[in-house]
């Protein structure tokens, strides 16, 4: 026996609506939350698809949670789960949809719902559909897309996304895999020149994938320099699973989580790839070996080549928020049943959530989680057209970094808030956190992503300076003198404070970089690098401002019955952003008296929300079968009778 | 195949001294660090025992690291490792030593060294020796200790520590297991009255232990009220492993880590325990059922009964610091070889540690880790007699909370600093972090422990107020007007600032609690509870002050050749404590100008330390075989030739 299966505490049941914890919630406060409407707000879009996925997961034994398996068994289970979802038709009309926005929405809904149960399943699917399929859609010609996407959607063409190499991760532009055009063969020759250039971490490459979109430096006959990174559709395995000649595949081995994804390594040894398999929407090579490219510059070409990752990053952020919601739903419900300590021996013990410290650990994080969910839904709604590629890129970088870190922190605190039970595999939080951990560094390392945000701010700022001090985009607030401060416990106050901080930090950063650049021999790379720590602070402040703006517009558009709740949680989130954010104090954007007021206001709001904690757990929108034994009657679950 | 073994990158080698990373470290700065002396400082005590343990671990294949095993296999491996250490004689003269301080030092050295490789091994051993054996030593009469400890030390009497119940964890005083004295049988009858009272999480109870120290409410004939929690030495399994009659044992199942420890559940059904097996140093029952107790009050009796946990907490903190050292040694070495991004395509890429942000993430945490190690060594040196039980208790609570949280944070950042490689099991950091995660809530939940610190501060403060404003103990600084502030980038400045914060926070907390208490019907429990969040802040500030004082005295006593290094790291630690510590700004103890200066000084110090990074990795005092492939040549390790 290498594994044990844990059964959910109740028989698998139809999912909505989550039941109220039967713990003793004070009933004094009227239930002012319209839970059903709030749940729809949290889901955001494609409710029917989400319900369909939940139905499959709730009713099939394949989706029971299991601990302690080998990676081989976990991978088989992940594959079986994926097949059952496919059989239910949830992938139909996603990447082949005539309406790509609708197709993407449906696919996102599938991935997000799957990730509430199994992050490996979500990542395995999204590598295939969003990265492999997404690259074909984004970088292929219409003819290439038409030829391949149906097979990708139908899972007859199983693919992986082969960008990262052992030697190059964040710096994807530095990959060393070579694609040399051979006119006689009318093919590119794909080759791994060194062990450092082996493709590494490629999800699906160890077992499942038959195809890859492989990224390589393109070399044309007679040219010594690469034309930059290009994407090729490459067979890596025959249908029977055997690697094709010239392709060597290996397993990346055990990770601390996510072992349902078969990450692998790939070496290419002079593998011929037909000319028609270069994804040729932006750049192409004709039969004579003549290269043409529509992108205005190598930088621009690299930018569009990496385009599939932007949407992917939103997906990673969404999975993080979803898993934080699971953890919070479990921890809040546990806090409404679990008691510890009493005023006197024999007196009834206090519910955990009646401890101010316990509320303080959970509720502000719950508020931020709701805000993040609202912002993601808002961003996705704007993604399909109403957002410039640049704004989309900046938001995807900033959101992904702050949201995944927030999710990891929240899951850590939620696990600790459940004490020892939070550490048990069957109670999900700790195991999910170990899986989600990778989200801080993949599909863009968070630290590196924040640098992208800072660079975008600097560019917008520089344009504003050039325009004689008229700032555009997200920096228009720099054009006006700061208004008088609103009162402390409001979202407006947080916006005001963060804008003041940005108005102080960003010009200083720009000036510092300019000063460093003035030294002869200093590249712009060096000058930015020298001020990374300050740039990181700018990026965080800027992203927080983007989030507050997005949430505010999302609340304005939300059903009236949800608004009181969302406004309260928005305020608590805004306070939490200000609290313990020392950089705001360093800049003087927040005075120490206001900081103290913020700190106090948080306590007040957490206390005010206490009577609604059970409904707040429901607002997390997690059906019972995705919760954990400790979200129900933990004594009954552990009873002697059940041994 | 359910598991893979990863071999260390080099053949298993004799451990000291760790080799310098052969990466390209700028050689400009002279190696001003006396690494060998610093390593002795880090080890602190019992160097020969540590070396003996390292010898066993480095030379035996049983200690090779393995991933992906079932818990059953992991437990067997843990047991085998334990046996090999026992065969090497490292446990001889520990808990039976005529000099208990020396015995404890030796045992600590064994546990700490083992935990660098395998936290399960460390915890399994320390449950047996320090909690089971430690309870017998602390709570048993001299005759009881003499009767049992030799068997505990020789592992012929394998024990567990059965305190926690499903229904009661942090609030250990509320355990419900009953021990009713039966004079006719001259025995206590141990009984589990309900499923909530099952012993839960008991390390060793699922398989290995034959005996338990079980904690139960003592009931005397004819009395309705318990005499409080008492400790009993109880047989739970026969030598052949079969549970004894009346004892039901079950497995706690999978956890996210630490699966080498067989945590179990115990139900007692009217199990007779001979009267002589009540640990009777402080309280006893005579044959006629007459109870006598030396403790002045039930509170005092409960305090001494939990005494074994104080030493245990220091051990937990030490394991955390040790594992943070492993993670930092790996991440710093990786940062000295790994390159990412270049100023221009084709230009040499930049070493990770040459990025200011990367240094900023790792080096302050490294500094704090060294400070924590120094403080632990200092505390252990003072533990054996020169410290009051109360001061020891407060320090053990505060240190354990802040050090384990720091270790978890550091391991998280170290894993992210290694990018995707940090997530791989063979690279150790992520897997060790998942194991160490439990240290935030076991042997005292950190949040609850900080409340103990706050309560102790309040008590000392109240005594001072009663004495007309003459404060003693760690609060003597309240007796004098604050001196003029020292210059910002110094330890003295941090002490000054923290003292000012304590001088502001503590009286306000005391006043707030007093005001709440004034409401009729408010218990002191309620009054303290209402101000938990403020109490938490006091506890953190107070513990940071204890740490700075302890580190300062430890540096004064350290060999002269280590002092420049320790002073620099102490300064960086002190700056890190002030940086991003918003509560200091809220109180006004730190001005926003000084906060900005602190922030800037940190960057300067991290940059100054950069040329010494390789030596700083060596100061972590982790032999090569305990590092990870990424601490060496990661390309060679992943080469095609090694497939
Ligand atoms: C489980 C898993 C699945 C994956 N799946 C895929 C996949 O399917 N396809 C694929 O192509 N890739 C995949 N990846 C690779 C992933 O995208 C990379 O791990 C990621 O891009 C980070 O690169 P790296 O690991 O090389 O880290 P590095 O780039 O080496 O970064 C290491 C550290 O250095 C820091 N750093 C780097 N540059 C800078 C800088 N300029 N300034 C300051 N700090 C810096 C980073 O913050 C990070 O902490 C996967 C990885 C994992 C672990
Ligand atoms: C792997 C493992 C090994 C263990 N080994 C042993 C062993 O060998 N022997 C043994 O006896 N026990 C053992 N334990 C039990 C361990 O000591 C308990 O888990 C610990 O005491 C915490 O208790 P709890 O889990 O019941 O958490 P709870 O006490 O239920 O606490 C849950 C949460 O509530 C919060 N909370 C509680 N009280 C308050 C308060 N007054 N104010 C604010 N917040 C509060 C805590 O901060 C925590 O976050 C082990 C546990 C684990 C997981």
With helix as H, strand as E and coil as C, how does B311-362 read?
HHHHHHHHHHHHHHHHHHHHHHHHHCCCECCCCCCCCCCCEHHHCHHHHHHH
Which residue has the CA at smallest separation from atom 23 of ligand 2? B169
* Residue pLDDT, tens place only, B91-107: 999 999 999 999 999 99
* Angstroms from A111 CA to nearest CA on chain B: 22
Give the SS3 label for residue B182: strand
Domain A308-626 has CATH 1.20.140.10: yes
Residue A170 C-alpha to ligand 1 middle, in angstroms?
Answer: 5
Write the residue in B408, B425, B447 that is nearest to A256 by C-beta.
B425
Nearest residue on chain A to B425, judged by CA atoms?
Answer: A255
Q: Do B343 and A166 touch (CB under 8 A)?
A: no
Residue linked to tokens 């060496």: B632
Rounded mean pLDDT of B238-242?
97
* Residue pLDDT, tens place only, A212-256: 999 999 999 999 999 999 999 999 999 999 999 999 999 999 999
Boundaries of every domain in chain B: 21-153, 159-296, 309-471+486-625
* Residue pLDDT, tens place only, B424-456: 999 999 999 999 999 999 999 999 999 999 999
Share of chain B above pLDDT 90, in %: 89
Which residue has the CA at smallest separation from atom 16 of ligand 2? B442
B341 — contact with chain A (CB < 8 Å)? yes
Write the residue in B173, B265, B586 that is nearest to A592 by C-beta.
B586
Asked if A426 is an active-site residue, the reply is no
Ligand nearest to the CA of A119: 1
Fold of the A65-305 domain: Butyryl-CoA Dehydrogenase, subunit A; domain 2 (2.40.110)
- Cα gap A210→A243, rounded to integer Å: 8
- Cα gap B37→A371, rounded to integer Å: 52
Q: Do B267 and A426 touch (CB under 8 A)?
A: no
Q: Please name which of B604, B552, B210 lies closest in space to residue B371, comparing C-alpha atoms.
A: B552
Residue A318 token pair: 């969404």
**Taking 60 as the threshold, does the pLDDT of residue A31 lie above it?**
no
Q: Do B532 and A355 touch (CB under 8 A)?
A: yes
Q: Please name which of A345, A296, A169 lies closest in space to residue B227, comparing C-alpha atoms.
A: A345
* Residue pLDDT, tens place only, B338-353: 999 998 877 899 999 9
Please tell me the predicted confidence (pLDDT) of residue B24.
33
* Residue pLDDT, tens place only, B244-283: 999 999 999 999 999 999 999 999 999 999 999 999 999 9
* Angstroms from A600 CA to nearest CA on chain B: 10
- Cα gap B341→B348, rounded to integer Å: 8
**Taking 90 as the threshold, does the pLDDT of residue B210 lie above it?**
yes
Which of B448, B450, B523, B536 should be mutated for ligand 2, with most atoms under 8 A from CB? B448
Residue A459 C-alpha to ligand 1 middle, in angstroms?
Answer: 25
* Residue pLDDT, tens place only, B517-568: 999 999 999 999 999 999 999 999 999 999 999 999 999 999 999 999 999 9
B633 — contact with chain A (CB < 8 Å)? no
Please tell me the predicted confidence (pLDDT) of residue A385.
67
The active-site residue, picked from A43, A176, A443, A502, is A443
Note the CATH number of domain B309-471+486-625.
1.20.140.10
* Contact residues of ligand 1, CB 6 A cut-off: A 127, 161-164, 169-170, 201-203, 255, 258, 263, 438, 441-443, 445, 447-448, 532; B 338, 340-341, 352, 355, 357-358, 416-417, 419-420, 423
- Cα gap B454→A21, rounded to integer Å: 33
Distances (CA, A) of B207 to A21, B165, B213, B236, B308: 35, 18, 16, 11, 23
ipTM for this model = 0.96
Q: List the beta bridge partners of residue B165.
A: B199
Q: Report whether A344 contacts B523 (CB < 8 A).
A: yes
**Taking 80 as the threshold, does the pLDDT of residue B30 lie above it?**
no
Burial of B28 (0-12, 13-18, 19+ CB in 10 A): exposed
- Which residues numbered 521-540 in A keep a CB inside 8 Å of some CB on B? 523, 525-526, 529-533, 536
Ligand nearest to the CA of B340: 1
Which of A75, A164, A319, A443 should be mutated for ligand 1, with most atoms under 8 A from CB? A164
A297 — contact with chain B (CB < 8 Å)? no
Please tell me the predicted confidence (pLDDT) of residue B87.
98
Note the CATH number of domain B159-296.
2.40.110.10
A267 — contact with chain B (CB < 8 Å)? yes
Q: Do A420 and B168 touch (CB under 8 A)?
A: no
- Cα gap A88→A155, rounded to integer Å: 13
Contacts of B438 in chain A (CB under 8 A): 420, 423
B66 — contact with chain A (CB < 8 Å)? no
Number of CB atoms found within 10 A of residue A531's CB: 23
Rounded mean pLDDT of B98-117?
96
Q: Do A200 and B420 touch (CB under 8 A)?
A: yes
Residue A489 token pair: 């416990």
Residue A419 C-alpha to ligand 2 middle, in angstroms?
Answer: 5
Active site residues of B: 443
Give chain A's mean pLDDT. 93
């Amino acid at each position: 026996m290498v594994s044990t299966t844990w059964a959910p505490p109740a028989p698998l049941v139809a999912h909505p609506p989550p039941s109220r914890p039967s713990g003793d919630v004070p009933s004094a406060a009227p239930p002012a939350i319209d839970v059903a409407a709030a749940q729809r707000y949290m889901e955001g879009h494609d409710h029917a698809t989400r319900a369909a996925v939940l139905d499959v997961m709730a009713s099939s034994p394949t989706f029971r949670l299991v601990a302690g398996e080998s990676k081989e068994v976990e991978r088989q289970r992940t594959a079986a789960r994926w097949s059952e979802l496919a059989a239910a038709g949830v992938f139909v009309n996603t990447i082949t949809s005539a309406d790509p926005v609708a197709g993407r929405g449906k696919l996102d809904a599938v991935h997000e719902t799957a990730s509430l149960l199994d992050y490996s399943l979500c990542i395995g699917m999204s590598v295939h559909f969003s990265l492999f399929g997404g690259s074909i859609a984004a970088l292929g010609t219409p003819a290439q897309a038409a030829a391949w996407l149906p097979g990708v959607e139908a899972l007859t063409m199983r693919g992986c996304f082969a960008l990262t190499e052992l030697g190059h991760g964040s710096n994807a532009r530095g990959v060393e895999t070579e694609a040399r055009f051979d006119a006689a063969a009318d093919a590119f020759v794909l080759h791994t020149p060194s062990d450092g250039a082996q493709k590494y971490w490629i999800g699906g490459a160890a077992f499942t994938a038959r195809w890859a979109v492989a990224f390589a430096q393109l070399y044309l006959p007679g040219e010594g320099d690469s034309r930059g990174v290009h994407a090729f559709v490459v067979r890596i395995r025959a249908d029977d699973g055997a690697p094709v000649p010239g392709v060597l595949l290996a397993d990346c081995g055990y990770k601390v989580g996510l072992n349902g994804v078969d990450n692998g390594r790939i070496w290419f040894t002079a593998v011929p790839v037909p000319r028609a398999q270069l994804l040729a929407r932006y750049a192409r090579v004709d039969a004579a070996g003549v290269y043409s490219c529509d992108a205005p510059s190598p930088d621009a070409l690299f930018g569009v080549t990496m385009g599939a990752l932007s949407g992917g990053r939103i997906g990673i952020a969404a999975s993080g928020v979803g898993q934080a919601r699971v953890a919070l739903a479990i921890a809040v419900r546990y806090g409404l049943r679990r008691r510890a300590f009493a005023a006197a021996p024999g007196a009834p013990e206090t519910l955990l959530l009646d401890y101010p410290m316990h509320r303080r650990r959970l509720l502000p994080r719950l508020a931020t989680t709701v805000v993040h969910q609202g912002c993601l839904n808002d961003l996705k709604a704007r993604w399909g057209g109403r957002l410039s590629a640049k704004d989309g890129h900046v938001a995807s970088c900033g959101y992904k970094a702050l949201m995944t870190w927030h999710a990891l922190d929240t899951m850590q605190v939620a696990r600790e808030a459940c004490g020892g039970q939070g550490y048990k595999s069957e109670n999900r939080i700790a195991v999910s956190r170990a899986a989600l951990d990778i989200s801080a560094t993949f599909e863009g390392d968070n630290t590196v992503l924040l640098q992208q945000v800072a660079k975008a701010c600097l560019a917008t700022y520089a344009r504003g300076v050039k325009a004689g001090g008229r700032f555009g985009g997200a920096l228009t607030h720099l054009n006006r003198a700061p208004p008088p401060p609103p009162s402390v416990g409001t979202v407006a106050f947080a916006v005001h404070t963060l804008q003041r901080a940005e108005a102080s930090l960003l010009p200083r950063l720009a000036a510092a970089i300019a000063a460093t650049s003035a030294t002869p021999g200093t590249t712009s790379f060096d000058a930015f690098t020298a001020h990374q720590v300050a740039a990181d602070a700018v990026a965080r402040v800027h992203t927080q401002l983007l989030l507050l703006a997005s949430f505010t517009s999302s609340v304005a558009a939300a059903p009236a019955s949800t608004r009181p709740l969302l406004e309260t949680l928005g305020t608590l989130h805004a306070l939490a952003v200000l609290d313990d954010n020392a950089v705001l104090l360093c800049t003087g954007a927040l005075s120490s008296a206001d900081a103290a007021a913020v700190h106090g206001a948080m306590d007040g709001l957490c206390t005010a929300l206490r009577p609604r904690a059970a409904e707040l757990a429901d607002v997390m929108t997690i059906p019972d079968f995705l919760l954990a034994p400790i979200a129900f009657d933990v004594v009954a679950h552990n009873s002697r009778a059940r041994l």
